[in-house]
């Protein structure tokens, strides 16, 4: 029997923001040890990469909490206005979630919960 693929959320950010969000999520007890930053490899000709990826191993039941923590992080950042997280279920189905500072927090969380339950692809 094959092992189930782990569900994960991927958030593309600049290097400094990726490390800041990673530290923020690792301080949140629910995600400690489940967060990693994947550093982009420089492109051809030595061009530098402008984006890193925060990867969080998270199941669908914890997705609303993750979105809530990302929302809290955005709220305390001076320059951050929105972040897109792509959650991939163990079956490989992606779900894109836009977390925006201007969103109503509770409505955003409710929308994520409904989308996870319905299997839609965009929040």
pLDDT at 47: 60
- CATH no. for 8-118: 3.30.70
User: Which residues in the chain show pLDDT less than 70?
Assistant: 1-5, 41-50, 119-123
H-helix or E-strand containing 94?
strand 94-100
**pTM to 2 decimals?**
0.81
CB 60 within 8 A of CB 114: no
Alpha-carbon distance 88 to 109, whole Å?
17
């Amino acid at each position: 029997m094959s092992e189930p693929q782990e569900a994960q959320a991927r958030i593309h950010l600049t290097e400094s923001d990726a490390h800041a969000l990673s530290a923020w999520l690792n301080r949140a007890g629910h995600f400690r040890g489940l967060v990693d930053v994947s550093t982009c490899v420089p492109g051809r000709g030595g061009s530098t990469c402008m984006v890193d990826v925060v990867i969080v191993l998270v199941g669908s039941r914890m997705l609303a909490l993750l979105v809530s923590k990302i929302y809290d992080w955005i709220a305390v950042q001076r320059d951050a206005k929105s972040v897109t997280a792509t959650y991939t279920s163990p079956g490989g189905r992606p779900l894109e979630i836009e977390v925006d500072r201007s969103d109503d927090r509770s409505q955003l969380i409710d929308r994520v919960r409904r989308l996870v339950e319905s299997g839609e692809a965009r929040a």
